Chain A
């Protein structure tokens, strides 16, 4: 069995990529989705705030997914549900498995839209036993919103990323009491809107520069110890405080899901956790593209979908015309920059204007992102406020030569 474009994952990126590939003239497009329906994580994000950029409306996750799924249906793009991609080669031979068994699909181009995973408890070291009641925030989201289970009555949330904030509100609305949200950094990585509407609205305290240093309880969580941290993020002796609770939620970051990229021998970027891509969102393996949260974690679903539209177009073009060899330049994350995507830009794309997605490494006020080629500044993006929680998107246009360096120029 073969297909022109195979899209792995049917979430906000996968659906947008598939539609875009079909609209850009790919003869056959196939979505492989491990769930029983389209939407991915959108289906468990029942809160509003989706679609402002793409649909000009404030939708819930399921509504956003539903609108896209309708378009996929109208475009008659086939979807294989309850199907997992088991492995993939650099030749774009994709092995899938479902209840019918295992099958290999030869794809003209592959788009990785596999999303991301939550960092688990093991990724942060909290001493203590292993009682029931410690969950990742997304797991609680699924339990409450999709399964109808309340995981506890009194919760502490570690991490103030958006999912943690959203879950503080969800738990409160569904009758639990959220004792506190602790954030190890001196700032929240969540959107301001979520700080206001999920914490302040319900008088939930946010302790910045605080972390959970101990979990109490044998069978079930009985409480946690929180501590203030110093500038090196080390707990400060004497600041410990006990909070009684039966549930601890972890919202401590997201990791792009890229097992498949590994099988195909795709070169990864340690900074983003996703594949290294060029301006066409093509990975180091020709014809394999990446987009959405599997490429790098986005702030909003809308942005993941918008990026995926580009991946879809480029995959369709690759199938029709084949890859084009073009001189490429590196995009380096310099001083103050957390990550830059794409990591490579072609001379042609730079001449026409290529989009860069930039995340800063820490918050800055009244600073600029400066893009240089050697000592020559080719673009300056000024901002009164730069935070790691908000990705900066900018177009770089230059017909010169040499690799690009992205830096933060802080005026303070």
Chain B
């Protein structure tokens, strides 16, 4: 099978074609450098994204931006989002404070701003 992967490592944005079978990479074409290869392998085996969202803080009647402190596996983003939305924030909160420890393994949800 062929998977199309666009490298986002640099502005070049190489369009790569990754040929795979039974979870193994057979070949990769279209990358212009070694970073593209590393990116494609990572995107194929462990695609992950930083999760960002906002939480309503009742005490301040305003929204607190939050994020995961490391990338979360892509297929678990929505599941994590549901857990994050359940966080009850009690101010004061400072930028970088952990609001939820150990989400999707060893990631934490941290505050993006002071409140």
Which residues of A come within 8 Å of B, CB atoms? Answer: 43, 46-48, 58, 60-63, 65-66, 144-148, 173-174, 191-193, 195-197, 200-201, 384-385, 390
Contact among A60, A146, A173 with B63 in the assembled complex (CB-CB below 8 Å): A146
Contact B50 A201 (CB under 8 A): no
Contact B8 A60 (CB under 8 A): no
| Contact A60/B54 with A46-B112, A196-B6, A196-B8 known, Cβ cut-off 8 Å | no
Q: Which residue of A lies closest to B53 (CB)?
A: A173
Q: How far is the CA of A35 from the CA of B62 in the complex (A)?
A: 15
**Main DSSP-derived SS at the B contact region:** mixed
Q: How far is the CA of A180 from the CA of B41 in the complex (A)?
A: 29
Contact among A58, A144, A390 with B11 in the assembled complex (CB-CB below 8 Å): A390
| Contact A63/B50 with A197-B8, A201-B74 known, Cβ cut-off 8 Å | no
Q: How far is the CA of A47 from the CA of B52 in the complex (A)?
A: 6
Q: Which residue of B lies closest to A194 (CB)?
A: B8
Contact A145 B67 (CB under 8 A): no
Q: How far is the CA of A195 from the CA of B67 in the complex (A)?
A: 20
Q: How far is the CA of A197 from the CA of B77 in the complex (A)?
A: 12
List B residues 59-99 near A (Cβ within 8 Å). Answer: 62-63, 65, 67, 74, 77-78, 81, 95
Q: How far is the CA of A58 from the CA of B7 in the complex (A)?
A: 17
Q: How far is the CA of A115 from the CA of B54 in the complex (A)?
A: 24
Q: How far is the CA of A196 from the CA of B13 in the complex (A)?
A: 10
Contact B50 A58 (CB under 8 A): yes
Nearest chain A CB to B5 CB, angstrom units: 8
Which residues of chain A are within 8 angstroms of B67 by Cβ–Cβ distance?
46, 48, 60
Tell me the number of A-to-B contacts counted with CB atoms below 8 Å: 68
Q: How far is the CA of A46 from the CA of B112 in the complex (A)?
A: 8
Contact B63 A66 (CB under 8 A): no
Contact B53 A192 (CB under 8 A): no
Number of B interface residues, CB 8 Å? 25
Which residues of chain A are within 8 angstroms of B56 by Cβ–Cβ distance?
148
Contact A173 B81 (CB under 8 A): yes
Nearest chain B CB to A15 CB, angstrom units: 15
Q: How far is the CA of A369 from the CA of B62 in the complex (A)?
A: 48
Which residues of chain A are within 8 angstroms of B11 by Cβ–Cβ distance?
191-192, 385, 390
Q: Please, could you name 20 A-B residue pairs with CB atoms under 8 Å apart, sorted by A?
A: A43-B113, A46-B52, A46-B53, A60-B52, A60-B65, A60-B67, A61-B112, A62-B65, A62-B95, A66-B95, A66-B112, A66-B113, A144-B54, A147-B63, A173-B53, A192-B11, A196-B6, A200-B6, A385-B12, A390-B11
Which residues of chain A are within 8 angstroms of B63 by Cβ–Cβ distance?
145-148
Contact A192 B8 (CB under 8 A): yes
Convert B37-61 into 0s and 1s, putting 1 for each residue whose CB lies closer than 8 angstroms to a CB of A: 0000000000001101110100000
Closest 9 CB pairs of A and B: A192-B13, A46-B65, A193-B8, A62-B113, A62-B112, A60-B112, A48-B50, A148-B63, A62-B65
Does chain A have a CB within 8 A of B114?
yes
Q: How far is the CA of A197 from the CA of B9 in the complex (A)?
A: 12
| Contact A46/B54 with A66-B114, A148-B63, A173-B81 known, Cβ cut-off 8 Å | yes
Which residues of chain A are within 8 angstroms of B81 by Cβ–Cβ distance?
173
Q: How far is the CA of A195 from the CA of B81 in the complex (A)?
A: 21
Q: How far is the CA of A47 from the CA of B112 in the complex (A)?
A: 10
Which residues of chain B are within 8 angstroms of A193 by Cβ–Cβ distance?
8, 13
Nearest chain A CB to B49 CB, angstrom units: 6
Contact B52 A385 (CB under 8 A): no
Which residues of chain A are within 8 angstroms of B95 by Cβ–Cβ distance?
62-63, 66
Which residues of chain A are within 8 angstroms of B54 by Cβ–Cβ distance?
46, 144-145, 148
Q: How far is the CA of A61 from the CA of B62 in the complex (A)?
A: 17
| Contact A195/B112 with A60-B52, A390-B11 known, Cβ cut-off 8 Å | no
Of A61, A147, A148, A200, chain B has the most CB atoms within 10 Å of the CB of: A148
Which residues of chain A are within 8 angstroms of B32 by Cβ–Cβ distance?
384
| Contact A174/B53 with A62-B113, A66-B113 known, Cβ cut-off 8 Å | yes
